[in-house]
Chains A and B, each alone.
Chain A
Amino acid sequence: MMGLLTNLRDSISRVTDRLFASEEPKRIGIYGPPNAGKTTLANRIARDWTGDAIGPESHVPHETRRARRKEDVSIERNGKSVSIDIVDTPGVTTKVDYKEFLDHDMEKDDAIRRSREATEGVAEAMHWLREDVDGVIYVLDSSTDPFTQVNTMLIGIIESRELPVLIFANKTDLEDSDVQRVADAFPDHETVPLSALEGNNMDEVYDKIAEYFG
């Protein structure tokens, strides 16, 4: 009986979901390689529009090892309000070696645990990308080479799913930052320069988010 009721409730909510589909916030996945500044960006967006943060940032790669979500972030642009769910994902990679964490002053047990969590998180993030996001913000550290196989594969996956995507060339405050190199690497997509850490160019960031995902 309970099962029947829940089924009924589920199907009703599915109908209402569909009715209000246009008002449902889009789920925007923040993807990119480890250490690009995804969480720093997610925190800045969340702090700017909701007042609180999403998760911890760190210079040690694979700080984010579980996708974290902030729902219903309302961004005001030109008198209009755009509502999105932000999903901060673990940095995507094809390899994880716990020994690399040992260089960051970590005990072996902790390093092994961190690497196991990281691999689970990346697997989950890949799964989400295939099933569960409506748009992607692809974050890159613009002071590093954008022509990596992981970037190429991920952008290819995003394109094949026909998801709207913005490329964020992050860390423009660094001396080695090269936004043009990022733009050249992904000529089919719009590249937005920013420093998530310093909060530079956030106006354009929010304009583009509203334009692409509103």
Chain B
Amino acid sequence: MPETTNSDNGVQIDLISGSRMAGLRSMEKIRLILDGVREGNIVILEEGLSPDEESKLIEVTMTEISPDDFSGIEIESYPRAETADQSFLDKLMGRESTKKLTVIGPANQIETLHKDEQLISALVSRK
């Protein structure tokens, strides 16, 4: 990720493309997300995580929580439509279909993360 210095009064938003994520292994994706979130950034994934990766994200988040430093994440996402074009090869290889558009941020900075059918809205406080 290009180095942008987080000034005191801003909130950095990282929008990570699906193709960027596609080249990464599960743990690399989780590292990328948590490194961003732990710096106070809002991370938006164009293509979300697989169920297995989500479960690992929860697990790794838990192991990193520490008092007065990191209290975990807020996360919201839209499920991929059932009709999503999962290729024949994907099915054959048992690749899990992922979710689309996922917003992840530091729990202590996100005051509300609200979702309805068409909108995810985050109220973010500065650090």
Contact = CB atoms under 8 A, between A and B. Distances in A.
Interface of A: 92-98, 112, 115-116, 119-120, 122-123, 126-127, 129-130, 147, 149, 152-153, 156-157, 159-161
Interface in B57-90: 58-63, 65, 67, 71-77, 79
B75 A94 contact: yes
Interface of B: 50-52, 54-56, 58-63, 65, 67, 71-77, 79, 96, 99, 107-108, 115
Given A153-B51, A160-B52, A122 B71 contact: no
Contacts of B108: 97
A120 B54 contact: no
A127 B59 CA distance: 7
Contacts of A123: 58-60, 62-63
Listed from nearest, the 6 A-B pairs whose CB atoms lie closest are A95-B72, A95-B107, A160-B51, A123-B62, A97-B71, A119-B62
A130 B72 contact: no
Interface SS of chain A:
helix
Contacts of A115: 65, 67
Contacts of B77: 149, 152
Nearest to A161: B51
